[in-house]
Amino acid sequence: MESSKIEFKEGELWQNIYQLLKLDSKRLYILIAIMVFNVAVSIVGPLSFKKALDQIEVTTDLKPFEYEIILYSSIYSFTIFIIFFIRLIQNIMIAKINTNLFHQLRIQAYDKVMQNKISFFDNVESGKIVSRLVNDSNELLDTGRRFADFFSQIIILIVLLGVMISFNPILTLGSIVIAPFTIIILLTMRDYQRSRSKNWQKNIAVVNSRFGEIMKSIAISKSFGREEENANQFNIINEQTYKASKERGRAIFIVGPIQDFLKHISILTLIIFSYYQLKVGIAMIYLFILLQAYFWGPISEISRNYSQFQSSLAALERILSIMSNESNREDHSGVVDGSNIEGNIRFNNVSFSYNETTEVLSNISFNLGVGETLALVGHTGAGKSTIVSLLIRFYDVNYGEILIDNTNINDFYLPSLRSSIGYVAQNTFIFKGTIRQNLKVARLDASDEEIWNAIDVVQAREFIENLPGNLNYEIQEEGTNISQGQRQMISLARVILADPRIIILDEFTSSLDLYTEAKIQNAISVVLKNRTSIVIAHRLTTIINADKILVLANGRIIEEGTHHQLITKNGIYSDIFNKYFEFQLKGLTPRVKI
């Protein structure tokens, strides 16, 4: 994936998390205040316990000190309940902040991905994009809690350290002398942990992509009996993911056992230091044992969260890599409104290549007047679809210029330009949902009357009225419960509803039967009336009545003229006609004239 080459420093990733958290700054500041209060209450407990021990230590007669012992013990017990409720509120706040962070990240990631050029989607498998938007963002689901917990534990550590030093610096040193080794281990392991997490997430993306491909090609696989081969390929990929998952688990969770080992070593060092501090009293030593448990609790949480953060940061890095590559972005800098164009199209010496080595179009020049129809003819790979892709600005020209109404298409505001161009592709995509919803893709405010008018133009009323619920009929994923011809009719009706000034028909009748094609051809004459149109076709009926025909070969225009002019030349078009179109004449109705 091209975008995956972008690398982020850990500080940049933390900064991005912080910026997302700031979107919910009110809750964040309340949470910080709750955390500080939680630290203060947490310290009161051990101090009260020490006071009670002090009273017990100084006398064998507890009768005079019953009140103080009960008081301090009660305070200690009360703080336990207070801490419970504080942490409950804290966790609720963290859950809300975390959910908002997750929500905002997905919105931003989706918006950024949708702003990418078509070339980005040409080079990236859809399954891998979905994996980044879904699986990788799921990996960040608990990041807000970890982030808040991480910094709350740091606050607790700082306060605890201050309290411990104020009581006894020597015992404090004995309690924390081992702690720096934890920091060294975390810093040493972080790059390894993140790299193992990135590798695991990459493998998950491959599994998702392969699984999606298998599901979409299930009919082909079954027809060729490839189920076992597909299963073997999937098992190989899945095994690689399994191994990556084990490596990730080892990298992240190995810190915990090491942390526990260092914690017990720390207890031994405290006992050793206590031997030289016996004069401070048993209550003080016991207090430090208690405070050390409080101290190592945050350290353990920080270590655990920091290790798991590496997995989250790896996921965030993968998401940011498809959000941050500005070279993938479509150019929306144009300011000219394209909604009122008339439809004059001119290509001036246009050259284009998808990569730096192979030129797909070379010095293409032609002019198409308002209301005229241009037919593009040529063998597969001649450059026909590339011409219309450049007009829609799916790609930008390398050399030359494309003008609409004497305005460079780069100067138009891109969404308004595309809204003025109706595009019907050969492989029509139908969304899962009702027929009404599919048609309203063109115009959300379209009334049912306008929808039926568009349906009538493409002669689709009969088949739609025969469906259960007609406009409310639920189309399955990719339109599998209606025929190819019916999908084409809906697609054409969608364009009619949008009422564009320019229409592009990209081999859209090539897979239709003659009966359905004849119905759509009648609709086309109505659709194209007073509109500029570009037609790419393999069927003679969509070519012979064009105002102009361009014959392409190897990305160049080799012939140009009307059907009659090109036939009389006995050139390339005539040869193509004789080889590919002549047999179609036998199936044409008498209305077709050659």
Cβ-count burial of 435 within 10 angstroms (0-12 exposed, 13-18 middle, 19+ buried)?
A: buried
Taking the C-alpha atoms of residue 482 and residue 464, their distance in angstroms, rounded to an integer, is 10
pLDDT in tens, 107-117: 887 787 777 77
Over residues 82-102, mean pLDDT: 78
The answer to whether residue 162 scores a pLDDT higher than 90 is: no
- Which of the four pLDDT bands, split at 50, 70 and 90, describes residue 495? confident
Contact 312/364 with Cβ under 8 angstroms? no
pLDDT band at residue 463 under the 50/70/90 scheme: confident
Which one has a higher pLDDT value, 460 or 50?
460
Mean pLDDT, all residues of the chain: 77
8 A C-beta contact, residue 376 and residue 553: no
Q: What does the pLDDT read at residue 217?
A: 65
The residue that leads in pLDDT, 443 or 584, is 443
Q: Cα–Cα distances in Å, from 315 out to 147, 300, 304?
A: 15, 23, 17
Distance, in Å, from the CA atom of 498 to the CA atom of 419, rounded to the nearest integer, reads: 8
**Axis-axis angle for helices 25-58, 66-114 (nearest 10):** 160
Per the DSSP assignment, residues forming a β-bridge with 361 are 352
Flag whether pLDDT at 407 surpasses 80: yes
Q: How confident is the model at residue 3 (pLDDT cuts 50, 70, 90)?
A: very low
- CA 451 from centre of chain: 33
Show the domains of the chain with their CATH numbers.
2-324 (1.20.1560.10), 332-420+502-589 (3.40.50.300), 428-499 (3.40.50.300)
Element (H, E) at 399: strand 399-404
Can you give the pTM of this predicted structure?
0.66
Per-residue pLDDT of 306-365, as tens digits, reads 777 777 777 777 778 777 666 677 777 888 888 888 999 999 999 999 877 788 999 999
Between 5-14, 24-33, 58-67, 195-204, the lowest mean confidence (pLDDT) is in 58-67
- Tell me the mean pLDDT in the region 202-224: 69
Dist CA 588 CA 517 (whole Å)? 11
pLDDT at 400: 93
Residues in Cβ contact with 88 at an 8 Å cutoff, skipping those fewer than 6 apart: none
Question: d(Cα 164, Cα 13) in Å, to the nearest integer?
Answer: 34
